[in-house]
Copies of this chain bind each other. A is one copy, B any other.
Amino acid sequence: MGEHTISFAGNGAVVVPTGTLLTEAAVRAGVQIAQPCGGQGRCGRCAVQVHGGEDAVGGVRRRSTLRLSAADVAAGYALACQAVVEGDAQVIVPVQETLERTLTTDRTAAEVAVPAGYDPQRDQSMQRICLTLPPPNLDDQCDDWSRLQTAVRTQTGIENLQISLPLLRQIGSVLRVGEWRVTAVLNTDYGLRNTATLLALLPGHIPDDTPLLGLAVDIGTTTVSVWLVDLISGAVLAQAAEYNRQIRCGEDVISRVMYASKNNGQAELRQLVLQSINTLIERVVQKAGGKWQVASGEPGSRQVMKATIVGNSIMMHMLLGIPAESIRLSPFVTAVNHPPVFTAQEIGLDMHPEATVICLPGVASYVGADITAGVLSSGLDDALPVSLFMDIGTNGEIVLGCRDWLVTCACSAGPAFEGAGVQDGMRATRGAIEEVWIDGRTAEPTWRVIGNDKPRGLCGSGLISLLAEMFLTGVIDKGGHLNQHLATNRIRQGENGPEYVVAWADETWHGRDITMTHVDIDNLIRAKAAVYAGMAVLAESVGVPLDTVEQVLIGGSFGKYINVEKGIQIGLLPDKPWENFKFLGNTAVLGAYYALLSQTAQQRISDIAARMTYIELSADNSFYEAFTSALFLPHTELNRFPSVVQEMEIERLGE
Question: Could you list which residues of chain A lie within 8 angstroms of chain B, going by C-beta atoms?
Answer: 136-146, 162-165, 168-169, 171-173, 176, 320-323, 325-326, 330-340, 342, 346-347, 364-365, 614, 616, 618-619
Minimum CB distance partner of A618 in chain B: B138
> Are B165 and A333 in touch, CB under 8 angstroms?
no
> Are B340 and A141 in touch, CB under 8 angstroms?
no
Minimum CB distance partner of A320 in chain B: B165
> Are A347 and B165 in touch, CB under 8 angstroms?
yes
Task: Give the residue of B142, B168, B322 whose beta carbon is less than 8 angstroms from that of A340.
Answer: B168
Distance of A140 Cα from B279 Cα, bound (Å): 39
> Are B139 and A320 in touch, CB under 8 angstroms?
no
> Are B320 and A137 in touch, CB under 8 angstroms?
no
CB distance from A355 to the nearest CB of B (A): 14
> Which residues of chain B are within 8 angstroms of A142 by Cβ–Cβ distance?
333
> Are B335 and A171 in touch, CB under 8 angstroms?
yes
Distance of A164 Cα from B332 Cα, bound (Å): 24
CB distance from A201 to the nearest CB of B (A): 12
Task: Give the residue of B136, B143, B322 whose beta carbon is less than 8 angstroms from that of A168.
Answer: B322
> Which residues of chain B are within 8 angstroms of A169 by Cβ–Cβ distance?
320-323, 335
Distance of A479 Cα from B325 Cα, bound (Å): 82
Task: Give the residue of B145, B331, B338 whose beta carbon is less than 8 angstroms from that of A136.
Answer: B331
Distance of A163 Cα from B143 Cα, bound (Å): 31
> Are B172 and A340 in touch, CB under 8 angstroms?
no
Known: A163-B340, A326-B172, A342-B165. A334 touches B618 (CB 8 A): no
6 A-B pairs whose Cβ atoms sit less than 8 Å apart in the complex: A138-B330, A140-B331, A144-B326, A146-B338, A168-B336, A169-B335
How many identical subunits does the complex contain?
A: 2
> Are B143 and A334 in touch, CB under 8 angstroms?
yes
Task: Give the residue of B141, B320, B616 whose beta carbon is less than 8 angstroms from that of A614.
Answer: B141
Known: A168-B320, A172-B335, A322-B172. A619 touches B138 (CB 8 A): yes
Distance of A162 Cα from B365 Cα, bound (Å): 22
> Are B333 and A141 in touch, CB under 8 angstroms?
yes
Minimum CB distance partner of A161 in chain B: B340
CB distance from A159 to the nearest CB of B (A): 11
Minimum CB distance partner of A142 in chain B: B333
A-B pairs with the 9 shortest C-beta distances?
A: A138-B619, A145-B336, A172-B335, A143-B334, A143-B337, A136-B333, A144-B335, A138-B331, A136-B331
> Which residues of chain B are within 8 angstroms of A163 by Cβ–Cβ distance?
340
Minimum CB distance partner of A342 in chain B: B165
CB distance from A167 to the nearest CB of B (A): 10
Distance of A340 Cα from B339 Cα, bound (Å): 24
> Are B321 and A165 in touch, CB under 8 angstroms?
yes
Distance of A144 Cα from B325 Cα, bound (Å): 12
> Are B165 and A346 in touch, CB under 8 angstroms?
yes
CB distance from A313 to the nearest CB of B (A): 9
> Which residues of chain B are within 8 angstroms of A143 by Cβ–Cβ distance?
333-338
CB distance from A99 to the nearest CB of B (A): 30
Task: Give the residue of B137, B346, B364 whose beta carbon is less than 8 angstroms from that of A141.
Answer: B364
> Are B141 and A323 in touch, CB under 8 angstroms?
no
Distance of A342 Cα from B364 Cα, bound (Å): 33
> Which residues of chain B are within 8 angstroms of A145 by Cβ–Cβ distance?
335-339
> Which residues of chain B are within 8 angstroms of A164 by Cβ–Cβ distance?
346
CB distance from A231 to the nearest CB of B (A): 24
Q: Max chain B CB contacts within 10 Å: which of A162, A168, A333, A342?
A: A333
Minimum CB distance partner of A138 in chain B: B619
Known: A144-B334, A331-B141. A323 touches B173 (CB 8 A): yes
Minimum CB distance partner of A191 in chain B: B160
Distance of A139 Cα from B330 Cα, bound (Å): 11
> Are B365 and A141 in touch, CB under 8 angstroms?
yes
CB distance from A193 to the nearest CB of B (A): 14
Minimum CB distance partner of A346 in chain B: B165
> Are B339 and A168 in touch, CB under 8 angstroms?
yes
Distance of A173 Cα from B364 Cα, bound (Å): 18
CB distance from A314 to the nearest CB of B (A): 13
Distance of A89 Cα from B333 Cα, bound (Å): 70
CB distance from A199 to the nearest CB of B (A): 14
Distance of A322 Cα from B141 Cα, bound (Å): 17
Minimum CB distance partner of A333 in chain B: B136
Minimum CB distance partner of A146 in chain B: B337
Distance of A149 Cα from B202 Cα, bound (Å): 38
Distance of A347 Cα from B165 Cα, bound (Å): 8
CB distance from A654 to the nearest CB of B (A): 49
Minimum CB distance partner of A337 in chain B: B143
Distance of A347 Cα from B164 Cα, bound (Å): 11
> Are A168 and B365 in touch, CB under 8 angstroms?
no
Distance of A336 Cα from B167 Cα, bound (Å): 12
> Which residues of chain B are within 8 angstroms of A168 by Cβ–Cβ distance?
320, 322, 335-336, 339-340
> Which residues of chain B are within 8 angstroms of A332 by Cβ–Cβ distance?
138, 141
CB distance from A163 to the nearest CB of B (A): 6
> Which residues of chain B are within 8 angstroms of A340 by Cβ–Cβ distance?
162-163, 165, 168
> Which residues of chain B are within 8 angstroms of A335 by Cβ–Cβ distance?
143-145, 168-169, 171-172
Distance of A330 Cα from B140 Cα, bound (Å): 11
Distance of A10 Cα from B141 Cα, bound (Å): 50
Distance of A138 Cα from B162 Cα, bound (Å): 41
Task: Give the residue of B162, B171, B336, B616 whose beta carbon is less than 8 angstroms from that of A144.
Answer: B336
Q: A143-B337, A146-B336 are in contact. List 15 more A-B contacts (CB 8 A).
A: A138-B618, A138-B619, A141-B364, A141-B614, A141-B616, A144-B333, A144-B334, A144-B336, A146-B338, A165-B321, A168-B339, A168-B340, A169-B320, A172-B326, A176-B326
> Which residues of chain B are within 8 angstroms of A162 by Cβ–Cβ distance?
340
CB distance from A589 to the nearest CB of B (A): 23
> Are B616 and A323 in touch, CB under 8 angstroms?
no
Distance of A182 Cα from B321 Cα, bound (Å): 22
Minimum CB distance partner of A620 in chain B: B138
> Are B323 and A172 in touch, CB under 8 angstroms?
yes
CB distance from A543 to the nearest CB of B (A): 20
Q: Max chain B CB contacts within 10 Å: which of A143, A169, A322, A336?
A: A143
